[in-house]
Amino acid sequence: MFDEPAVPHPHRTANQHAAFRRGMRFFVIGSSIMIVIGGTVYFGYHNLGADQGEDNGRSSILSRSGLESLYNDLKRGVSESQDTAQFMLLALSRSTTIVSAAALCVWDYRQTLNAHYNAKAEEEEAMRTCHLRSANRMLNAMQTNGGLYIKLGQHLSSVILLPPEWTDTLKPLQDQNEPTPLNELEALFQKETNKTFEQAFEWLDPKPLGVASLAQVHRAKDRETGQILAIKMLHPNVERFSSVDMKMVTILVGWVKRVFPDFSFEWLADEMNKNMPLELDFRHEAENSRRAQQNFQQYKYTSVTFPQVPWVFRRVLAMEFIEGARPDNLQYLAEHKIDRNRVSQELSKIFSQMLYLHGFFHADPHGGNVLIRPRQSQSRSRENFEIVLLDHGLYFEIDAQLRVNYARFWLSLLSRATPQVQRQRRHYAKLVGNIDDDLYPILESAITGRSGLEGSDAHNPSGIKGKTRVSSLLDMDGGAIMTEEEQEHIRKTVMEKEGMFINVLEVLRKVPRAMLMVLKINDLLRSLDKNLYTTHGPARPFIITARYSALAVYQDDKEKIKEEWRQDGFTWPLVKYYFSSWWNYTYFYHGLMLLERCSDFTARIHKYLAYLRTFYSVGFDRLAAERAAAGIEEQERSAKRIKEDQSRAMASLADNATEEMLTKEHVQPQ
């Protein structure tokens, strides 16, 4: 995938490029006009009231701008939720915020891409700065609107195909959101439970433990039981905001579809409308937690644990309070002598069990939803730590056939690319992704997070920069993490070539909804592994996936063999089928254990070498050497670079403010 110059349909793509450029110009102008219109409507209502004369004036402006139908759609959609002027103003204000940010991003990218540069390095730096400016615009807009937009930003922060300037900038959305004042939360709490904070708790810490897009959590001591609890409360206005957001996204997705027919985002609106009401009901979250915990009861040993839920209401949930830290808090891991490599491996194991064996999986495993704590007494963990899963509002169920087909697809990606294996890859891609051969390279890269394997693209048999494609995922440099060359190549192709972006959207439109969530957790887990700065070798995450895929396939094969035995009795083909299945299982599940042992040895060597290099280079400083071996020094360098980039982006935004204002004035209707 993502290799130039191969394009599945060159003539159609050329036409799409031209249509994209025409549509993009219209979108920038139209969106900028909409900003002015939204501001006019907002301040007109706010300062003067909605009398008949102003309604006629607004109608005239909208008619001249060509956006009257969009305005009417927005107004009608909002009125269906709550028929009040204040609610409509909220909708217009929020839509103006997000549309203005998006329009400025589009304008910024077009200006940057069309500019003339004297050197390649100058062009690359301009694009990097443009990424930062755009990401900061969207970060500010998402934080201003909150609710659903925070959820969208959380997902974007873990999509591996996006430039790091975007993912790093949006990362604060994972667990650094604005808190709701305590008095507003108490009013909601009393309405749900018929108790005040004083009646329910001996004390409640006014400082929140965490603030998410939909809720925030406070520590408290239950007055009746004396138990320390984590009290999760829905933001009081979140239901109202979410109703607006769902209407806005649905309407705007339809508008984008009308302006850019090839840009289909209906799947995003559909998924949001289906899942958001469930996430707003904490009783649903408590049931998800109970069911997931029950699925892990079958294992004698497991490192995962779930907070107990003593009571729950629709908008308030009480959980057992658990001390711990995010998995990427390397300082905490080092203080408790917890191996970050083992944390990454256990996370991969837990979610592989959920996906391939249980068919019921947590669909939002970003760093803010996972805690690491030292191993407790009576724990079933074999490690010196436990992994605590939080926020069970979003789970997905995947049916047995799709789950097994997906496991078989993974095993084919981990096998040598013989002609038979290449046919199997396309066969299972069709079954799990509902796509044809022309879009296969995109699905393969979306699932693996890497560029194409041997045979993935018949139009372009060579890999990046003419390199020969590798035969399987286990042969790739970098394993589950993209190499710098891959990142640069994919950024260039996806961000600059509209035809490829259209094909990516086509895959997202066709893939079953459950598979979209599988792609999401793949990206989130890769992001967690990257943020842990692991040293266990590039192929380790793939090995864990392969082992649990093999186990899922073997269990399915055994059920089929039992059924055939009951129907037909003993046959030689059945015996052959059994031994073939057993061999595949033994090869992947048990045979790859040797590679796991090798990767563990490699991890220890890398950490030891990092210790020695730092110990001798800084004058025999043992503390500095331990920090280097724990990955803390590397993490701090990365954080410093991100902070410098964000400062540079904010300065660049300030420099461009005047030019952007002039552009908006230029397109404002007179």
Kindly report, residue by residue over 507-518, the tens digit of the pLDDT. 767 777 778 788
The half-sphere exposure of 585 on its side-chain side, counting CA atoms within 13 A, is 14
> CB-side exposure of 599: number of CA atoms within 13 Å?
22
Q: Which residue stretches of the chain have pLDDT < 50?
A: 1-8, 10, 28, 32-33, 35-67, 82-83, 478-482, 494-498, 667, 669-670
CB atoms under 10 Å from CB of 605, counted, come to 11
pLDDT at 60: 46
Q: What is the pLDDT of residue 471?
A: 66
pLDDT tens figures, 200-240 = 999 999 999 988 888 999 999 999 999 999 999 999 878 77
Strand partners, 220: 204, 229
Nearest to 248 by CA among 147, 397, 133, 135: 147
Torsion, CA 128, CA 132, CA 137, CA 138, rounded to 10: 90
DSSP SS3 for 260: coil
Nearest alpha carbon to residue 473 among 494, 445, 500? 445
Q: Tokens at residue 371, please?
A: 């805690």
* Predicted structure pTM score: 0.75
Task: Give the C-alpha separation, 104 to 658, whole Å.
Answer: 13
Query: What does the pLDDT read at residue 503?
Result: 65
In the chain the domains, ranked by start, together with CATH numbers, are 10-176+243-264 (no CATH), 182-237+279-347+365-396 (3.30.200.20), 400-591 (no CATH)
The rounded Cα 259 to chain-centroid distance in angstroms is: 27
* Contact call for residues 2 and 490 (beta carbons, < 8 A): yes
CB-count burial class (<10 Å; 0-12, 13-18, 19+) for 664: middle
Give the start-end residues of each E strand in 261-315.
304-305, 311-312
Half-sphere exposure of 535 (CA within 13 A, CB side): 20
Sign of CA dihedral 32, 33, 39, 41: negative
What's the token pair of residue 624? 């500095």
Residues 6+ apart with CB under 8 A from 229: 219, 220, 221, 222, 310, 318, 319, 320, 321
Q: Name the amino acid, one letter, at 347.
A: L
Rounded CA separation 395/412 (Å): 27
The phi, psi pair for 440, rounded to 5°, reads: -55, -45
Predicted local confidence at residue 230, as pLDDT: 98
- Altogether, the residues listed in the chain come to a count of 670
State the alpha helices, DSSP H only, in 569-630: 572-585, 593-617, 622-629
499 close to 16: Cβ distance less than 8 angstroms: yes
Contacts of 44 (CB under 8 A, 6+ apart): 50, 54, 57, 58
